[in-house]
Amino acid sequence: MYKLFCTILLISLPAKTYGEFEFKNPDCHTQADVADVTLRLNLNENPFGHSPLVNVAIAEALDRVGFSSVYADAPVAALQQDLAAHFRIDVKNILITPGSTEILTALPEAFAKENPNANFVTHKLAYSEFKSQGKKVLAVREAELNLDLRVNLDNIAKLVDSNTAFVILANPTNPTGHVIPDQLLRPFLIKMRDRGVHVVLDGAYQEYISDSSYRAPYEYQREFANVIAIGTFSKAYGLAGLRVGYTIGGTAETKAIKKAIGASIPSTSALSAVAAAGALRDAPWLLRNVIATRANVADLHSGLRGLGFETYGHDTSFILVRTAIPAKQFTDALHGKGILIHDMTATYDSPHLVRITSGTLEQNKILLAAIKTLGIR
């Protein structure tokens, strides 16, 4: 009875359909903790929720005697096995963590603890957590971008020296939303390998990419021992609230990171691991989610362009937008209409850039209508 109760509770939520994609209880994704917010387009959350198999996996787990009273060793080990099969890699080369922050914090300890002059290299407008976590221990060097805000790997290579512990990049990039194509990234990885420098590739949005020039971080890791690949279940899989991430590296690299983390028991919860395993099994749902997201991003991109905005990178689930008025003023105006977007002023020192998450088609229409009504640009 308990299993039946959990299943009914978790999967019988009201469903709505946008286009041809049905998802559960979308209203919970458009409410913040404050009463004046009705639409959250600031954190790149998935408006389509998660696969129904997540609900089933959680219900089945809770029905097992003792599941929640012991540490998460078994569920985390099972997820590692699932990911190893999914990516066709050795299970001992996978670490499961609650998101990427724990890994980013561990990298300096893992690869630079014996060098007081160590640095790491990234680029301007890189994912803010790269800097905020790494610079606590290491000096950070930021390469200039191209004029179109694409990553310039030659500029990055010029900043690498004998004290560089690692280079860290997101591919696709966040918040600029661009793909670094294989024809550019592969020669760079070879160059870094020959210089003995680790390259950390964050693939948080890899599932959304259809560009034929793109290779996911885990694919490079299978080829390059110096590559460390990071992934997450927060974005395309819709599990941001459960915090599940993973890292793939060589045997020595994985061992060093695990030692730097230092936990003797898994820090990822048992429910999170079970949910991620359920999500991983539902490839058809993921495909429908990705297709719907691509269509909605394209529609939002067209709408923003039609309103006169300059935009950058629309290969993922979000769009970077240049505003004529200060970004804070633009963001505050939309907040007044109950819509949250990400002001890049504070975290990226970019006072005329905002990042907008694509919602459902209906949500995107609400956003565009609000911008038009406010008369802001």
Q: Which of 312, 311, 319, 276 is nearest to 294 (CA)?
A: 319
What secondary structure, in 3-state letters, does 178-194 show? CCCCHHHHHHHHHHHHH
Assess contact for 238 and 48: CB atoms under 8 A: yes
pLDDT at residue 21, rounded to an integer: 40
Query: Would you call 55 helix, strand, or coil by DSSP?
Result: helix
Q: Which domains does the chain have, with CATH numbers?
A: 2-50+283-374 (3.90.1150.10), 57-281 (3.40.640.10)
- How is residue 234 written in tokens? 């927060």
Q: How far apart are CA 233 and CA 301, in angstroms?
A: 25
- In sequence order, what are the residues at sequence separation of 6 or more whose Cβ sits closer than 8 angstroms to the Cβ of residue 128? 347, 348
Alpha-carbon dihedral angle through residues 338, 344, 350, 355, given to the nearest 10 degrees: -80
227 to each of 16, 220, 310, 369, how far by Cα in Å?
A: 42, 7, 34, 44
Q: How far is CA 61 from CA 7, 93, 319, in A?
A: 11, 26, 37
Q: Please name every residue paired with 311 in a beta bridge, in sequence order, or none if there are none.
A: 321
Each residue's pLDDT expressed in tens, for the chain with a length of 377 residues: 333 333 333 333 333 333 334 443 333 333 344 456 789 999 999 999 999 999 999 999 999 878 888 888 999 999 999 999 999 999 999 999 988 878 888 888 888 877 889 999 999 999 988 887 766 678 999 999 999 999 999 999 999 999 999 999 999 999 999 999 999 999 999 999 999 999 999 999 999 999 999 999 999 999 999 999 999 999 999 999 999 999 999 999 999 998 888 765 678 999 999 999 999 999 999 999 999 999 999 999 999 999 999 999 888 999 999 999 999 999 999 999 999 999 999 888 899 999 999 999 999 999 999 999 999 89
Give whole-number Cα distances, 259 to 71, 103, 225, 253, in Å.
19, 11, 19, 10
Of 69, 98, 109, 81, the closest CA to residue 267 belongs to: 98
Q: What string of DSSP letters covers 70-133? A: S-THHHHHHHHHHHHHHHT--GGGEEEESSSHHHHHHHHHHHHTT-TT-EEEEETT--HHHHHH
Cα separation, 177 vs 355, whole angstroms: 10
Rounded to 5 degrees, φ, ψ at 288 are -65, -40
Residues 43 and 30: their CA atoms lie apart, in Å, by 12
State the sign of the Cα–Cα–Cα–Cα dihedral 118, 122, 124, 127: negative
Residue pair 93/249 in contact by the 8 Å Cβ criterion: yes
Tokens of 161: 């020296």
What tokens appear for 192 in the block?
Answer: 């870094």
Give residue 138's pLDDT: 86
Residue with tokens 């395309």: 236
Spatial contact of 174 and 144, defined as CB atoms under 8 Å apart: no
Tokens representing 142 are 């930021």
Give the separation between CA 279 and CA 281, rounded to whole angstroms: 5
pLDDT, tens digit, 9 for 90 and up, residues 72-86? 899 999 999 999 999
The residues, ordered by sequence, that sit 6+ positions from 86 with a Cβ below 8 Å of its Cβ are 280
Burial (CB count within 10 angstroms: exposed 0-12, middle 13-18, buried 19+), residue 117: exposed
How far apart are the C-alpha atoms of 354 and 300, rounded to whole Å? 14
The Cα–Cα gap between 156 and 118 comes to 16
pLDDT of residue 33: 44
Q: What is the pLDDT of residue 264?
A: 59
What are the φ/ψ torsions at residue 202 (nearest 5 degrees)?
Answer: -95, 120
Distance CA 206, CA 223 (A): 18
